[in-house]
């Protein structure tokens, strides 16, 4: 399955992309995708507890399974205002 | 009215968007960029905002709907800058029009607090010494 993954702010810097495509297996969850994308960044791994996931513009939890064509977003702690 | 982008906050347009002959109150809030962060005395040279624009827009719509559920009939305008914002300029603006001032004040405070707690927008400070940091909001 092909996904589009968005990363913002500090996660964008640590993971080295703001947007990329990603091929994953058919039963992948968001937690699986997080684990795979952050494997080479200990700082990103430490941000897991404060990071939220969005799937197609809706906030969801890590157990959520993805579907072909999904837009996944990795959202670190927000700082708007 | 919702605006997310690099343009300066247009307060006059926001006020015009929330006014009504049926309303007796318009409350506005502007958040402006500050030269220091709490707990960090390094002078800030510049601030930049980054947004997940599609989700932020949907979130602003939902904040407006939640405010109407809580505080009754009212109109809300929410605007947030993206990109570089000079010190002292407004980075966020809220305007609320309502029949009476109580609901306008309450809805305005609710909207800014909710935005700061959850809207997918991020702020990076650049310091005069060249360092940078992403600044997360603390619970209000």
pLDDT 10s digits, B44-68: 988 999 999 999 999 999 999 999 9
Q: What is the CATH number of the domain that holds B84?
A: 3.90.1170.40
Q: Which of B73, B55, B52 is nearest to B64 (CA)?
A: B73
| pLDDT tens-digit series, residues A47-74 | 999 999 999 999 999 999 999 999 999 9
Q: With a cut of 60, say whether residue B140 has pLDDT above it.
A: no
Q: How far is A51 from chain B (nearest CA, A)?
A: 11
A-chain residue closest to B78, CA distance = A81
Does residue B140 lie in a domain region?
no
* Contact B87/A at CB under 8 A: no
Does residue B97 lie in a domain region?
yes
Domain A2-75 has CATH 3.10.20.30: yes
CB contact under 8 A, B122 and A78: yes
> Do B88 and B33 contact (CB within 8 A), yes or no?
yes
Could you state, in order of their start, the residue ranges of all structural domains in chain A?
A: 2-75
Q: Tell me the β-bridge partners of B123.
A: B49, B135
> Which residue shows structure tokens 């309450």?
B106
Does residue B112 lie in a domain region?
yes
- The complex's ipTM? 0.94
Q: What is the mean pLDDT of chain B?
A: 95
Does residue B58 lie in a domain region?
yes
How much is the pLDDT for A24?
Answer: 94
> Do A18 and A12 contact (CB within 8 A), yes or no?
yes
For chain A, give the percent of residues with pLDDT over 90.
98
Quote the CA–CA distance of A61 and A7 in Å, as a whole number: 16
- Domain interval for residue B97: 2-35+42-135
Does residue B115 lie in a domain region?
yes
Does residue B65 lie in a domain region?
yes
For chain B, give the percent of residues with pLDDT over 70.
99
What mean pLDDT comes out for the span B25-52? 91
CB contact under 8 A, A81 and B118: no
End-to-end C-alpha distance for chain A, whole angstroms: 37
Q: With a cut of 90, say whether residue B41 has pLDDT above it.
A: no
A-chain residue closest to B138, CA distance = A79
* Contact B40/A at CB under 8 A: no
How many separate domains does chain B show? 1
């Amino acid at each position: 399955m092909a996904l589009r993954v968005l990363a913002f702010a500090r996660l964008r810097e640590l993971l080295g992309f703001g947007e990329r495509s990603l091929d994953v297996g058919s039963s992948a969850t968001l937690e699986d995708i997080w684990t795979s994308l952050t494997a080479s960044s200990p700082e990103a791994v430490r941000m897991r507890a404060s990071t939220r996931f969005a799937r197609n513009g809706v906030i969801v939890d890590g157990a959520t399974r993805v579907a072909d064509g999904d837009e996944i977003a990795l959202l670190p702690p927000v700082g708007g205002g | 009215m919702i605006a997310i982008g690099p343009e300066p906050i247009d307060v006059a347009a926001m006020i015009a968007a929330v006014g009504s002959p049926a309303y007796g109150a318009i409350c506005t809030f502007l958040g402006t960029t500050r030269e220091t962060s709490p707990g960090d005395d390094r002078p800030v040279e510049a601030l930049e905002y980054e947004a997940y624009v599609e989700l932020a827009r949907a979130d602003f719509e939902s904040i407006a709907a939640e405010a109407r559920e809580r505080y009754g009939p009212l109109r809300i305008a929410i605007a947030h800058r993206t990109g570089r914002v000079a010190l002292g300029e407004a980075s966020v603006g809220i305007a609320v029009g309502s029949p009476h001032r109580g609901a306008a004040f309450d809805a305005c405070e609710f909207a800014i607090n909710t935005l700061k707690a959850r809207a997918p927008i991020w702020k990076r400070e650049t310091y005069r010494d060249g360092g940078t940091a992403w600044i997360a909001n603390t619970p209000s």
